[in-house]
A and B are shown apart, each in its own frame.
Chain A
Amino acid sequence: MDALNSLMDGFGTALTPVNLLWAALGVLLGTAIGVLPGIGPAMAVALLLPVTYGLEPIGAFIMFAGIYYGAMFGGSTTSILLNTPGESAAVVAAMEGNPMAKAGRGAQALAAAAIGHFAGGLIGTVLLVALAPTVADLAVDIGAPDYFAIMVLAFIAVTSVLGSSRIRGLASLLIGLTLGLVGLDQMTGQQRLTFGSLQLADGIDVVIVAVGLFAIGEALWVAAHLRRSPGRPIPVGRPWLGRDDVRRTWKSWLRGPLIGFPFGAIPAGGAEIPTFLSYATEKRLSKHPDDWGKGAIEGVAGPESAASASAAGTLVSMLTLGLPTTAVAAVMLAAFQQYGIQPGPLLFEREPDLVWGLIASLFVGMVLLLALNLPLAPVWAKLLRIPRPYLYAGILFFAAVGAYAVGGEVIDLVILLIIGLIGFGMRRYGLPVLPAVIGVILGPNAEQQLRRALQISDGSVSGLVDTPFAVTVYAVTALLLLWPLLRKVVTRVRARA
């Protein structure tokens, strides 16, 4: 095994005291950045670029990779405990994680998420070592029609997170799709819903929508009800996963990477869509369907594992093709270029020490992150003991800082507050917030891929179904849609026979 030998050499590089230090610093920073709402890993790496200019490239990249993975770990923490996702990839964790925290099982949810990230990152990195060249070749074969098919599948999967009332769920999704329309039309440059404001021309950042709807909306909601339901402290409960929890989650931990890794590797993938798909998958496969919405631990474990595995997938495309599939990868690519190193087909031959050292450091980073986050889970869970007025004041502060940090503009704070008020209104009338966030993420993506596919086929609708991949995805989607009907027919036929 050539790759295995190189990897062993890589460990030699990664385990030197200096590089271990960079890895530790990276995962610490990453975890902190993940926990703070609004400040994402892409921005953190970009701001560190000039600082790392004088470093050896290997040390800098080990730190950047630590930040990337660490942010994935940290992002779910506030999602679970405070219903306030720190990153868009952590939105799904709030769905089942927050009810668990409210029921006093916050530490277990955090532990399930941390082990999920560990499993996802580890399996993802193993897949990275084993499959890098193959996956990279496949990734470029995925085109606009295929993406659109995946988006359709994601929209169908979203129906399973619409909540108890379909009509309210759809209303929320439409709010999200409308917010997603704001900005310049990506294909023609027309302004939409910008009211002539240049600041709105790039659309409303997903982070601002997510933080506004979740964090600000939640804080306003809590504030409005504080007098009626005085601060009853939430029990913190046992810190460890019980045997029953592990029995329910181990399969979810292993399934997550299978969804997350390929999505990370494809050019328009990212970490959000696989978390939605993983959530929908876990919900369908769960043996405890009654728990969902009230704190099903599989709903935390699966999506979190998928999120970290997608980070590994992202690195595949970046290292082997020089293809950035997420904002973080784009910034890391710029960092490579700053060192005069061009990621791409020749990187593995030209800079084997750097690449394998980086990959080995991912394994080291995962272990460090697990060691950091697992003991921290019960500590974080104690956050909920802070009296709520102080806790939510803190959340409002960090949410505002995060939103301001996205673009450094006052108008972002105004938009944040307006979206927060929308979030409050949605809670008041029982509209779930998650579909709205999903709408903001999926809507513009789906539109762009649909129009790009149609443009490439010169307007012919057949261009949407002319690849085997797209046809397969549509077939799966149709099967999912028709499954309840089919099952009824099958049972009826059996009953008759």
Chain B
Amino acid sequence: MRLSTPLALFGAAVLVLVGPPLLTAGGGAETGTQIPGLRFMVPNTPGGGYDITARTAAKNAEDAELTHNIEVFNLPGAGGTVGLSRLVSEHGNGKLAMSMGLGVVGAVRSNDAPKTLADTTPIARLTEEQDVVVVSKDSPYKSVDQLVDAWKANPGKLPVGGGSSPGGPDHLAPMLMAKAAGIAPKDVNYVPFDGGGELLASILGDKVAFGVSGVGEYLDQIKAGELRVLAVTGPERVDELDAPTLKESGYDVDFTNWRGIVAPPGLSEAERDKLVRLVEELHDSPEWQKSLRTNGWDDAFLTGTEFGEFLDAQDERVVSVLKELGL
């Protein structure tokens, strides 16, 4: 008995120390798109939007044999800014990437986070999704014009529901819409809900005058006739929906939510190109194209410096909206 306890302990220690490296080893040579030991950080909780994007991308990349054993891990907090700080602190780490989107741009500004996306190495924008302006089937508003007329007359009495906290995508969209309609964003009565699900109940129950959220959240309710969609916020109509864009209706709004990938700062050009190439190969793979279809994501592929310029432009827009709100 005396002998077996230390032996067992030793055995356990060996298992813990040697096991994981053995299991994760064997990734193949460092050629082509292979990046052995690549880790993919998700700055929100398991099951959230960035999480599904990251896990799907990792799975597809493995299935397409672009690289092996991508480790996806979650580091949630403060709308993604906790993960962002961590990413920025991993200066020069070419084996780390983070999934992110417009929500992180907003969270950086509304939380006044010390690190911004300008501190990262932009890799690619992957997908985008328009927002929809929806009301319940019993709502008196049949068109955007009717809604905006009533809204203009008394902004405080027409609460707008959105699935994100101030600074997030569902908050920005109605603010831009208000601005285009000549309503001061400060007067908008925006009610934040904890995601599109909780918001849905409030729209169906006519607790809010109208709601703004991603197209994908409500496609089914719209098809079933429970919700009426008045407009989409992007530049073009959505195929599945019989609804005009805000621009067609005479409101100068062009708003699309998007998701993408960034990497730590201080990468060498070769390291950055390698990540970009991996994402390019992923984008071209049949696996990823299939995932886009099943998840209902719009392809919005944009890489490298162009994506970096896009990030800067998005940041400027968020800052200008938040400034007008005095946030």
Q: Which residues of A contact B34 (CB under 8 A)?
A: none
Which of A184, A338, A407 is close to B165, meaning CB atoms less than 8 Å apart? Answer: A184
Contact B201 A409 (CB under 8 A): no
In angstroms, Cα B166 to Cα A347, docked, is 32
Whether B205 pairs with A143 at a CB distance below 8 angstroms is yes
Q: How far is the CA of A267 from the CA of B157 in the complex (A)?
A: 23
Question: Is B66's beta carbon under 8 Å from chain A?
Answer: no
Complex Cα distance A198/B77, Å? Answer: 7
Select from chain A the residue with minimum beta-carbon distance to B48.
Answer: A334
Are A338 and B52 in contact, CB atoms less than 8 angstroms apart? yes
* Residues of chain A within 8 A of B204, CB atoms compared: 140, 321
B69 interface contact, C-beta 8 A: no
How far apart are the CA atoms of A343 and B207 in the complex, in Å? 22
Q: Kindly state the separation between the CA atoms of A323 and B205 in the bound complex, as whole angstroms.
A: 13
Which of these binds chain A: B216-224, B255-263, B299-307, B309-317? B216-224
Contact (Cβ within 8 A) A342 B220 = yes
| Identity of the chain A residue whose Cβ is nearest the Cβ of B290 in the assembled complex | A340
Indicate with 1 or 0, residue by residue over A171-189, a CB within 8 angstroms of chain B CB atoms.
0000000000000101111
Given A144-B207, A198-B81: A267 touches B197 (CB 8 Å cut-off): yes
Nearest A residue (CB) for B209: A456
Q: With both chains docked as a complex, state the minimum distance between the C-beta of B134 and any C-beta of chain A, in angstroms.
A: 14
**A-facing mask of B93-118, CB < 8 A → 1, else 0?**
00000000000000000110100000
Q: Check B46–A47 contact: CB distance below 8 A.
A: yes
Q: Is A345 an interface residue, CB under 8 A from the partner?
A: yes
* Chain A residues with CB below 8 A from B205, complex form: 140-143
Mask of B66-88 contacts with A, CB within 8 angstroms, 1/0 = 00000011111111011001000
B78 contact from A198, A321, A339, A458, Cβ within 8 A: A198
Shortest distance between the CB of B152 and any CB in chain A (Å)? 15
Is A391 in the interface zone, CB < 8 Å from B? Answer: no
Chain A residue with the shortest CB-CB distance to B82:
A198
Chain A residues touching B, majority SS: loop
Known: A322-B200, A323-B200. A49 touches B55 (CB 8 A): yes
Chain B's closest residue to A318 (CB) is B197
Per the bound structure, the CA–CA distance linking A89 and B78 in Å amounts to 25
Q: In the complex, A458 Cα to B208 Cα: how many Å?
A: 11
CB distance from A333 to the nearest CB of B (A): 7
A129 touches B (CB below 8 Å): no
CA distance A345 to B200 in the complex (A): 12
Known A139-B201, A189-B327, A346-B223: A46·B77 in contact at CB below 8 Å: no
| Chain B residues with CB below 8 A from A338, complex form | 52, 56, 294-295
A344 at the interface (CB under 8 A from B): yes
Which residue in A268, A321, A409, A455 is a CB contact (below 8 Å) of B189? A455
A340–B77 touching, CB < 8 Å: no
Given A50-B59, A189-B165, A202-B78: A330 in contact with B197 (beta carbons within 8 A) = yes
Whether the Cβ atoms of B59 and A268 lie closer than 8 Å is: no
| Residues in B166-200 with C-beta less than 8 Å from chain A | 166-167, 189, 191-192, 194-195, 197-198, 200
Contact B76 A202 (CB under 8 A): yes
On chain B, which size bracket covers the interface? 35 or more
A304-344 CB contacts (< 8 Å) to partner B = 321-325, 330-331, 333-334, 337-340, 342-344
Q: How many angstroms from the CA of A199 to the CA of B276 in the assembled complex?
A: 30
Confirm or deny: B32 has a beta carbon within 8 angstroms of a beta carbon on chain A: no
B residues in contact with A140, CB < 8 Å: 201-202, 204-205
Are A321 and B201 touching (Cβ within 8 A)? yes
What size tier do the contact residues of chain A reach?
A: 35 or more
User: Do A50 and B55 touch across chains, with their CB atoms under 8 A apart?
Assistant: yes
Q: Which residues of A contact B327 (CB under 8 A)?
A: 188-189
Query: In chain B between 11 and 53, which residues have their CB closer than 8 angstroms to a CB of chain A?
Result: 45-48, 51-52
User: Could you tell me the distance between the alpha carbons of A184 and B73 in the complex, rounded to whole angstroms?
Assistant: 24
Q: CB of A452 within 8 A of chain B?
A: yes
Is A53 in contact with chain B by the CB < 8 A criterion?
Answer: yes
- Please state if A407 and B55 are interface contacts (CB–CB under 8 Å): no
Residues on A with C-beta less than 8 A from B223 are 346
> How many angstroms between the C-alpha atoms of A268 and B205 in the bound complex?
14
The reply to whether the CB of A201 lies closer than 8 angstroms to some CB of chain B is: yes
B159: interface (CB < 8 Å): yes
| A42 engages B197 (CB within 8 Å) | no
Query: In the bound complex, how far is the Cα of B46 from the Cα of A342, in angstroms?
Result: 19
Q: How far is the CB of A201 from chain B (nearest CB, A)?
A: 4
Q: Which residues of B contact A45 (CB under 8 A)?
A: 47
A344 near B191 (CB under 8 angstroms)? Answer: no
Contact at A143–B75, with CB atoms within 8 Å? no
Tell me, yes or no, whether A418 is within 8 Å of chain B by CB. Answer: no
Q: Are A199 and B77 touching (Cβ within 8 A)? A: yes
Flag if B75 contacts A323 (CB, 8 Å). Answer: no
- Residues in A neighbouring B250, C-beta threshold 8 A: none
Query: B195 contacts which chain A residues (CB < 8 A)?
Result: 324, 330
Q: Could you tell me if A345 and B220 are in contact, using CB atoms closer than 8 angstroms?
A: yes
Residues of B close to A189: CB separation below 8 A: 110-111, 165-167, 327
CB distance from B106 to the nearest CB of A (A): 10
Query: B157 is contacted by which of A50, A409, A458 (Cβ under 8 Å)?
Result: A458
Q: Closest chain B residue to A345 by CB distance?
A: B224
Q: Is A43 an interface residue (CB 8 A)?
A: yes
CB of B145 within 8 Å of the partner chain:
no
A408 touching B192 in the complex, CB below 8 Å, given contacts A50-B59, A144-B207 = no
Interface string of A442-463 (1 = CB under 8 A from B): 0000000000100110110000
**B residues in contact with A142, CB < 8 Å:** 201, 205
Q: Which of B48, B52, B110 has the most CB of A within 10 A?
A: B52
Inter-chain contact B294/A340, CB cutoff 8 Å: yes
The distance from the CB of A252 to the nearest CB of chain B, in whole angstroms, is: 31
Contact B197 A324 (CB under 8 A): yes
A407 and B73 alpha carbons, distance in the complex (Å): 10
Q: Is the CB of B224 within 8 A of A321?
A: no
Interface pair A408/B52, CB less than 8 Å apart? no
Chain A residues within an 8 Å CB radius of B72: 50
Enumerate A329-371 residues with CB–CB distance to B below 8 Å: 330-331, 333-334, 337-340, 342-347
Can you report 10 residue pairs joining A to B where beta carbons are below 8 Å apart?
A: A50-B55, A144-B207, A186-B192, A267-B197, A321-B200, A322-B221, A338-B56, A344-B220, A345-B224, A408-B74
B positions within 8 Å CB-CB of A: 45-48, 51-52, 55-56, 58-59, 72-79, 81-82, 85, 110-111, 113, 156-157, 159, 165-167, 189, 191-192, 194-195, 197-198, 200-202, 204-205, 207-208, 216, 219-221, 223-224, 226, 294-295, 327
Extra 19 A-B pairs, beta carbons < 8 Å, given A342-B219, A458-B159: A42-B46, A42-B47, A46-B47, A46-B51, A47-B46, A50-B55, A53-B59, A144-B202, A189-B111, A189-B327, A198-B82, A267-B197, A267-B198, A267-B201, A325-B197, A330-B195, A337-B52, A345-B224, A347-B220
